[in-house]
Amino acid sequence: MSVVTIVGAGVIGLSWARLFGSAGWQVRISDPRPDLTDVADQHLAGLPVTLSADLAAAADGADFVQEAGPERIEIKEQMFATLAAHTRDDVVLASSSSSLLPSAIAKGNPAAERIVIGHPFNPPELMPLVEVVPGPHTSASTVDRAIDVYKELHKLPIRLRKEIPGFVGNRLQKVFNDQCTYLVQQGVIDVADLDDLVRASLGLRWATIGPFQSGTLGGGPQGMRHLVAHIGSQMTFEIGAPDPARMDDVLDAVESTYGTGESAYQELADLRDNRTRAALQPLGWPQPPDVRGT
């Protein structure tokens, strides 16, 4: 049985653990959080998981490492130094980082050729994509091995040709989310209506075809070239930017719309997961493992 060491038992680490565990991997999960046993009992029951607060011990003998610790470069550097020292030299060290450059995580690390980004979308057990981002020192065999492992988990690994902060998914998300915040701050629309508007239009469209495919169709039989010349040429307005000093106004509105705390989180996570599960197969994605958790 292959062994994966997952670093961090937070939102992403627990989801990776369910995914690897249900795919037949022996999972070791390392996190210094004092409630690690309770968290595992609650979220990983019935899976082949062992727990350790000691990262070096958890890494020893691993066949693959998926790091999902805090998004802080100094913490990642430290974790990857420990991982480099306590893994075989054929073991891929993949980071789930949302935006940190692999070259920054690997700086000064003797195992830089084994370090790669394997960035999932939340929750990794349901969302098909894993962005695979090599740094300048990442070896081709590391990238190939990471892609093989993610394919084995029935994910869609997409390899970026070079590193860039935020990679592709989160650069797109940043532009989009900034505009959502700006529109709410400007009083154009409220939080719930904006969410409904997106679900009823761009969300549904982009679940079926991508933006360039959509542009091709939007121009009719003459394709995207016609769309750009026709409608695109009139979209010359400035889009504005959100005011960081007024971010609390938007956060207050989001919290009063959707609530906060454990039960609100659970309810919303269940809604998302049930809808995502129902949509995956009809859209051509493999059915994910039926391991429930949040």
Stretch near ligand NAD under the rule CB under 6 A, chosen from 29-37, 178-186, 188-196, 278-286: 29-37
Question: Which residue numbers are catalytic?
Answer: 131
Choices 108-116, 118-126, 147-155, 190-198; region in contact with ligand NAD by CB under 6 A: 118-126
| Interacting residue with ligand NAD among 10, 166, 232, 289 (CB under 6 A) | 10
Number of chain positions touching ligand NAD (CB under 6 A) = 24
Q: Identify which range of 93-101, 154-162, 175-183, 258-266 contacts ligand NAD by CB under 6 A.
A: 93-101
* Minimum separation from the CB atom of position 76 to ligand NAD (A): 7
Q: Using the rule CB under 6 A, is 94 a contact of ligand NAD?
A: no
Judged by CB under 6 A, the chain residues 43 through 82 that form the site for ligand NAD are 55, 68-71, 75, 79
Contact predicate 294/43, CB 8 Å:
yes
- Compare residues 170 and 214 and give the one whose CB is closer to ligand NAD: 170
Q: By C-beta, is 79 or 184 nearer to ligand NAD?
A: 79
Shortest reach from residue 98's CB to ligand NAD, in Å: 3
Does residue 13 bind ligand NAD (CB under 6 A)? yes
Interacting residue with ligand NAD among 87, 97, 142, 216 (CB under 6 A): 97
Residues in the site for ligand NAD, rule: CB under 6 A? 7-13, 30-33, 55, 68-71, 75, 79, 96-98, 119-120, 122
